[in-house]
Amino acid sequence: MPHNLWHLPALSYHYRMINQPLKSIVVFNNKTNSILRRHPWIFSGAIKTKEETIEEGDLVNILNDKGEYLGFGYFQNNNISIKILGFKDEKYSNDFWKSRINLAFQLRSQLGLINNPQTNAYRLIHGEGDGLPGLIIDVYKDVAILQCHSIGIHKKLTLICEALEEVYALNLNHIYDKSQDTIPSSKTAFSSNNFLKGGVDFVLIKENGIEFEINIRDSQKTGFFLDQRENRKLLQKYCFHKDVLNTFCYTGGFSLYALISDAKSVTSIDSSTKAIAQLENNIILNKLIGFQHLTLNQEAIHYLNHMEKNLYDVIILDPPAFAKNISKRHNAIQAYKRINISALSKIKNGGILFTFSCSQVVTEELFYHTIISAGIETGRNIKILHKLHQAPDHPTSLFHPEGSYLKGMVLEVN
Ligand code: SAH
């Protein structure tokens, strides 16, 4: 074990069990198809028997009712009862965490994100896409921020941190567990936000050469929306001498890219006062003061509904997930439609709309249909220039399409 001392949370978990044999859960034979196709979720109805002593978050072996091994994962008292970590070609050992993190690191290396002088912030672990459902790790320069979305992953935090330390050698000075809001609410007693190594309030990162300050403790998600990196870069092509409106701007990701590519003016809107303050700070950091920038700390939907026509050449709509679950999907679709009708009907002739949805339950197809129906209502002539997705350091398993949560389009409007 590395000698760095982590400030480990005082948890009642048996962290240090060394390669203990796992307990078993048997699934009905007619429910094994999705597992054999490497889909990583097992729903409660698929479970035939479960050893009585299995507790929430325990690692378990998964068997069919002939006793054949199908993989391993962690158990949770939920509609999704097991999230699978390894399929039938893999057995669990404590080295598992290191080998998964190593694989993820190799991929980021291949994507050119390691030791890149222009970009030093990226997602290292993207849940199912990196074979670790329930775990997010974002790296901001020398700070790793972890978010566990399940008790099963949180129980293994020590092993995960050891693995991170080994993979990064001495290059990570701070590790922050920011799981308090992501662990299911009934179990928040298990988690508080904590530094597991080091301790720092802010870190300065670069993305495509642009500097952003990340507030580690007091920010949305892990601090920055890294999934939009490539889409922000694409925006630069369209901003030269244009009037740009960035709605739901957060700390100014798209706004800074627009300013740097010589937009005529940029208007940024967000309802979060903290996000707006951070955006203004980011403008100063990049010495963009004096450029035509207007910040509006207000409700973006209200602004879109009431703004005049023909003010903007480029509009970005990147709202928060309007639908957090299936029951909210219908209302979410209506909300996406309304904001897109406003933007599409009011943008200047020849204008460019960047429009996104990050709701996992709104599929790509559903989102595109929503935009089509918004477009029809405007009566304008609209072309698709690009179809956009999350950046590749947020990979999706081919067998888990639910992982493709971010979809977007770039439209030209006449
Ligand atoms: N495009 C951003 C990320 C957007 S995240 C980037 O590239 O970094 C969504 C943002 O919408 C958050 O900053 C949140 O504060 C803001 N938000 C949520 N509801 C809003 C509303 N009704 N009006 C304005 N902003 C809102």
pLDDT digits (tens, 9 = 90+) for 258-270: 999 999 999 999 9
Can you tell me which atom of ligand 1 is nearest the CA of 251?
A: 8
Regarding the beta carbon of 302 and ligand 1, being less than 6 Å apart is answered no
Can you tell me which atom of ligand 1 is nearest the CA of 232?
A: 7
C-alpha separations of 380 from 73, 343, 345, 373, 413 in Å? 50, 12, 7, 12, 7
Regarding the beta carbon of 299 and ligand 1, being less than 6 Å apart is answered yes
User: Which of 248, 282, 301 maximizes ligand 1 atoms within 8 Å of its Cβ, making it the mutation to test the pocket?
Assistant: 248
Can you tell me which atom of ligand 1 is nearest the CA of 320?
A: 9
pLDDT of residue 190: 61
pLDDT of 6 > 80? The answer is: no
Regarding the beta carbon of 297 and ligand 1, being less than 6 Å apart is answered no
Residue 94 Cα, ligand 1 centroid: separation in angstroms?
A: 39
pLDDT digits (tens, 9 = 90+) for 77-107: 999 999 999 999 999 998 999 999 999 999 9
pLDDT digits (tens, 9 = 90+) for 380-411: 999 999 999 999 999 999 999 999 999 999 99
pLDDT of residue 26: 97
Q: Which phi and psi (to 5°) does residue 387 adopt?
A: -110, 130
pLDDT digits (tens, 9 = 90+) for 320-354: 998 777 788 888 999 999 999 999 999 999 999 99
pLDDT of residue 21: 87
Residue 251 Cα, ligand 1 centroid: separation in angstroms?
A: 9
Write a three-state SS string for 263-312.
Answer: CCEEEEEECCHHHHHHHHHHHHHCCCCCCCEEEEECCHHHHHHHCCCCCC
If you average pLDDT over every residue of the chain, what do you get? 93
Pairing label, strands 194-197, 382-389: unpaired
pLDDT of residue 364: 94
Determine the length of the chain: 414
Cα–Cα dist 314/278, whole Å: 23
Whether residue 231 contacts residue 388, with contact meaning beta carbons closer than 8 Å, is answered with: yes
Q: Whose CA is nearest to atom 9 of ligand 1?
A: 320
Residue 167 Cα, ligand 1 centroid: separation in angstroms?
A: 34
Regarding the beta carbon of 212 and ligand 1, being less than 6 Å apart is answered no
pLDDT of residue 167: 94
Residue 248 Cα, ligand 1 centroid: separation in angstroms?
A: 3
pLDDT of residue 328: 81
User: Please, what is the end-to-end C-alpha distance for the chain in angstroms?
Assistant: 62
pLDDT digits (tens, 9 = 90+) for 355-368: 999 999 999 999 99
Regarding the beta carbon of 248 and ligand 1, being less than 6 Å apart is answered yes
Is the pTM of the predicted complex or chain greater than 0.75?
Answer: yes
Cα–Cα dist 252/322, whole Å: 20
pLDDT digits (tens, 9 = 90+) for 22-46: 999 999 999 999 999 999 999 999 9
Paired strand residues for 243: 265
Q: Which phi and psi (to 5°) does residue 244 adopt?
A: -115, 135
Closest CA to 322 of 301, 302, 298, 297: 301
- Among residues 148, 161, 239, 358, the one annotated as catalytic is 358
pLDDT of 14 > 50? The answer is: no
pLDDT of residue 18: 52
Regarding the beta carbon of 272 and ligand 1, being less than 6 Å apart is answered yes
Least confident of 182-191, 226-235, 242-251: 182-191
Cα–Cα dist 327/298, whole Å: 27
358 is catalytic: yes
Closest CA to 85 of 40, 43, 23: 40
C-alpha separations of 59 from 84, 152, 241 in Å? 9, 7, 56
